[in-house]
Amino acid sequence: MDHVTVYAPGSASNLGPGFDCLGLALTGLGDTVTAVKAGAEGVRVARVSDPRIPTDPARNTAAIAAAAVLKHSGERFGLELTIEKGLPLAGGLGGSAASAVAGAVAAQALMRKKLTRDHLLDAALDAEAVVAGRHADNVVPSLMGGMVLIAGMQPLRLTSLKVHGSFYFVLVTPEYGVETAKARAVLPKDVSRADAIAQAASLAALVLGFERGDVELIRDSMQDRIAEPARASLFPGYAAARTAALAAGAAGVAVSGAGPAALAVVAGGHTEPVAKAMVEAYAAAGFGAKSHKARVDRAGARVIG
């Protein structure tokens, strides 16, 4: 095989109290990387569909991850990547992570030696670290699919969570970007003991709610006390969109990753009133917004051609 095309799904991380430790792969939004074996060693980027994303292989997450996989395998060939972005830049939907994962899986697919999942994750995490800090909460679900709890980073400890079949997700992306670096710069260094305890109890209740299909548990617990309060000013219109979504029947609403995308959890598939309420709330705040209906992408990154 001398060429391959890999799709990696976008993802929502944090989901409120799961800040920096919970992520969810989503259907219908993802990045696609085609890798072609090329004679000279090294990884090059032939084209990225979004011109704002660098083609410099030292600053492109797909290329960094592919290069890490090649290096780890010890195989010596060159790769030329073509990257089709289905995910927005600085949108909060795990775009840099999906490109990194797709790059790693594409490089792997062209090799004889099969790396472990943890090696692929390491490659993608190294790439993510260059643009967004070393955070696993998008990379892991994008690779593995489903909802994943990052129980620890050193060493990496992962737990796949069940997501009850009754849940749908509404992603609403307002027409402004938020740089991950900026969103991280405003985070508090410390949090009060009371907030730390409430965050822990809420996360435990949230994951149980997703496993059990318990809307009340999600409604009560989907609230972040660490990142969202500190970032409120970065997300104009979000507070109103959250209130509107809950009033329209959403079980819970949170900022997706570093935003600005907002994620609503809806039980039973009646997503339209929630999507409409959120888009209207952003419009009232002066921002256009697009909505997308998703389910859990249970497969994760996969070869599609």
Residues that bind a second copy (CB under 8 A): 17-22, 149-152, 157, 159, 161, 187-193, 195-208, 211, 217, 220-221, 226
Closest approach of a second copy to the CB of residue 135, in Å: 11
Q: How far is CA 147 from CA 30, 134, 267, 276, in A?
A: 16, 19, 16, 26
Task: Rank residues 188 and 286 by Cβ distance to a second copy and give the closer one.
Answer: 188
| Closest by Cα among 16, 33, 46 to 250 | 16
Task: Rank residues 140 and 241 by Cβ distance to a second copy and give the closer one.
Answer: 140
User: What are all long-range contacts of 152-156, with beta carbons under 8 Å and residues at least 24 apart?
Assistant: 156/118, 156/121
Task: Rank residues 202 and 271 by Cβ distance to a second copy and give the closer one.
Answer: 202
Closest approach of a second copy to the CB of residue 164, in Å: 14
Closest approach of a second copy to the CB of residue 18, in Å: 7
Query: Is 142 in a helix, a strand, or coil?
Result: helix
Task: Rank residues 116 and 154 by Cβ distance to a second copy and give the closer one.
Answer: 154
Residue 193 CB coordination number (10 Å): 8
**Angstrom distance (rounded) from CA 2 to CA 17:** 44
Closest approach of a second copy to the CB of residue 185, in Å: 13
Burial 35-51 (b: 16+ CB within 10 A, else e): bbebeeeebbbeebeee
Closest approach of a second copy to the CB of residue 130, in Å: 21
Task: Rank residues 31 and 224 by Cβ distance to a second copy and give the closer one.
Answer: 224
